[in-house]
Structure 1
Amino acid sequence: MEFKPNTLYHVYNRGNNKQKIFFNYGNYLFFIKKIEKHLLPHCDLLAYCLMPNHFHFLNEPKEKTEEKEINKAFQIMLSSYSQAINKQQNRTGSLFQQHTKAKMLETENPLYAEICFHYIHQNPSKAGLVKEIERWEFSSVREYALLGNEKLCNQEKAHLLLNIPKDGNEFLELSRQVLSEEMIERIF
């Protein structure tokens, strides 16, 4: 994956053959610990969502972090998670698809990063897992809505770069708005 400083990226991957990557509640928590340990030293995470068979991140490389460090962090994070899940599920082979995607968001129009931010949070609702986005526990939506204690995201940077309201209710109202398919195509 290619990463440049001062650039926002939509990073995503899914289970091999679209299979599950999270099998129980503890798997989600374990993956969050992997994010904290391996990814956060190298990237500012602005949004995330962990779904049963895929994940999404909106992140920005930290200043003076080299591309190879970020790639290595993703490799270690996904590999160590896969090994643990393979052992837990008594399975072998690749858990994730071969290539994690990192889509650089168009910098000439900051609206695309904002669309990506809200798309990530709307994922569980669109998939029918919850009716209200804030009910999904494994997403940064609860951080921005001020409903949880988890603090993975650099909220200050998100508020600054993406014009995200600091008020939890205003944030939820904005984040629940429907995105058009044309808008969503720009972030993939």
Structure 2
Amino acid sequence: MLFEEEKTYHIYNRSNEVVFYNRSNYIYFLKKVNRLIRPYADILAWCLMPNHFHFLIVVNAKGSQRISELHRPQVQQLSKNLGSLLSSYTRAINKEQQRRGKLFAHNTKAKCLNDITQNDNILDNCFHYIHQNPVRSGLCENLLDWEFCSVLDYADKRNGKLVNKQLAYETIHIDTDNFLTQSNILLDERLLKDIF
């Protein structure tokens, strides 16, 4: 993955099996995100699902900085940290669940959303898609019923520290007075293909 400073990315990964078995797994993963990702990117939205995750981020200077490693010369800090996040989480789950092998079946994807000119609302669509994911997947009926999603922070139901709400308000067309109504609007499926 190659990241550019001040660009916005939809980062996601899906597994063919469960990756979060219980509440403590979600919390453990989020603590790792806070330590390994948040210093290198502003998180605008996030959602953890039983078998996958989504993040909408804006990369900062430290995240796009290249570092030298023996086996990967000039790897970027954020890319390295994403790999560390997933590999260390996999090791912990393998130990806890007495399993072996890969946990995430696919490579993590990072789609840059800044360069898509045919979809003016791509950031808005991605932001709301991430928050609607638990409802769209049938895990709950109400956006506020899924604990592991930043929608609770924007709805002022939790004072989470992962998201940069101020940057999101400046970047995305969020109606702070009618956030939940806006968040529940059906998204155009044709436009969603651009976020992947």
TM-score of the alignment, normalized to the shorter chain, above 0.5? yes
Q: What is the identity, as a one-letter code, of the residue corresponding to 2:8?
A: L
Deviation at 1:98, TM superposition (A): 4.1
Instruction: Give the count of matched residue pairs.
Output: 184
Which one-letter code corresponds to 1:51 in the other structure? M
The correspondence of residues 119-138 of structure 1 with structure 2, limited to 5 A, is 119-138=129-148
Q: Give the Cα–Cα distance (whole angstroms) in 2 for the partners of residues 72 and 110 of structure 1.
A: 31
Determine if contact 2:134/2:140 at 8 Å carries over to the other structure. yes
Runs of 4+ in 1 over 4 A off after TM superposition: none
Instruction: Report if aligned partners of 1:144, 1:171 keep a CA contact under 8 Å in 2.
Output: yes
Match of 1:177, SS?
coil
Q: Are 2:47 and 2:131, in contact at CA under 8 Å, matched by a contact in 1? A: yes
Cα deviation code 1:116-157 (max 9, x no counterpart)? 000000000011111011111000000000001222100000
Counterpart position of 1:178: 186
Task: Tell me if the contact between 1:22 and 1:53 (Cα under 8 Å) persists in the aligned partners.
Answer: yes
Q: Structure 2-normalised TM-score? A: 0.90
Give the CA deviation at 1:64: 4.5
> Structure 1 vs Structure 2: percent identity of aligned residues?
44
Is the Cα contact below 8 Å between 1:165 and 1:171 reproduced in 2?
Answer: yes
Q: How does 1:1-188 map to 2 (within 5 A)?
A: 1-15=1-15, 18-65=16-63, 66=65, 68-107=76-115, 108=117, 109-167=119-177, 170-188=178-196
Q: Which has the larger radius of gyration?
A: 2
Provide structure 1 residue ranges, at least 5 long, that are not aligned to the other structure: none
CA distance in 1, matches of 2:105, 2:41: 22
Unaligned runs of 5+ in 2: 67-75
Partners of 2:46 and 2:120 in 1: CA distance: 18
CA contact (8 A) 1:110 1:162 kept: no
Contact 1:23 1:52 in 2 (8 A): yes
Structure 1 Cα separation of the partners of residues 48 and 95 of structure 2: 21
What SS is found at the alignment partner of 1:49?
strand
Q: Which amino acid aligns with 1:147?
A: K
Matches of 2:37 and 2:79, distance apart in 1: 9
In structure 1, the partner of 2:72 is none
Q: 2:69 maps to which residue?
A: none
Contact kept? 2:62, 2:77, Cα under 8 Å: no
Amino acid corresponding to residue 13 of structure 1 in structure 2: N
SS at match of 2:127: helix
CA distance in 1, matches of 2:26, 2:62: 30
Cα displacement (A) at 1:97: 2.5
Aligned alpha-carbon RMSD (Å):
1.3
TM-score, reference length from structure 1: 0.94
Task: Tell me how far 1:165 sits from its aligned partner.
Answer: 2.5
